[in-house]
Structure 1
Amino acid sequence: MGDGVTIVYLQDILVAPDHQRGGVGTALLAAVLEPFADVRQQVLITDDDPGQRAFYEARGFTEIRDVPDASLRAFLRFT
């Protein structure tokens, strides 16, 4: 989701537990983001799980609170 030019949003990658750690998630993420390789802002929203953080950081994502000197804010509303 997004405008495909300046920003793209991804709502997590889900892989069944018995298929994790076999490259499925990496392949899915690459396939989904490939058309948006030139988009400057690629935003991912996911659960707060240490394994997910490690997965996405290994693929170039940075948790927003860890971006040095960034004047960024993220807001969510759950209804």
Structure 2
Amino acid sequence: MNVHFKYEKNIQIEHLETLYNDVQWYAYTQDLAVLQTAITQSLDVLTAWDGEELVGLVRVVGDGLTILYIQDILILNAYQNQGIATQLMQQILEKYHHIRQKVLLTEEAADVRHFYEKNGFTSCDQGSLVAFAQVR
């Protein structure tokens, strides 16, 4: 395995479909044109590749000055638990270190909580913040 990283928004739809389906994020792949447009219109996208295979990505949205929202971070199942997600997260956080407010919304699971906490995030249920979401 020789994973390399690159900032890339123009990703072939087949690569996106494979990655998102592999992690069972089917809501994204129901309309591939919307997914591809969302990727290209994101503030930034950092990808992980093993040769010509897209094995992971982190996608962020926001204004790039005062708020950064980590929208997606996903790794092919066969490549999980190898530090790729951590590298993606660290690189994107370093690039946007100047932004005070970094936010994300994710599912509750022990391994998910551990991942974000080790990357410097604090759950809103453990501090003075409150989080609200409306998902349809």
Q: TM-score, normalised by structure 1?
A: 0.83
Q: Which residue of 2 aligns with 1:27?
A: 87
Q: How many residue pairs get matched?
A: 76
Identity value in percent: 41
Cα distance, 1:32 vs. partner?
2.4
**Higher-Rg member (1/2):** 2
- Deviations 1:37-79, CA, capped at 9 Å, x for gaps: 1111110111111101001101111101112xx2x32111112
Which aligned pairs between 1:1-79 and structure 2 lie closer than 5 A? Answer: 1-67=61-127, 70=128, 72-79=129-136
4+ aligned runs moved over 4 Å, structure 1 = none
Gaps of 5+ in 2: 1-60
Cα distance, 1:34 vs. partner?
2.6
Greater share of residues in strand: 2
- Structure 1 counterpart of 2:79, which letter? H
Cα distance, 1:21 vs. partner?
1.6
- In 1, distance between residues paired with 2:131 and 2:117? 18
- In 2, distance between residues paired with 1:73 and 1:13? 22
Gaps of 5+ in 1: none
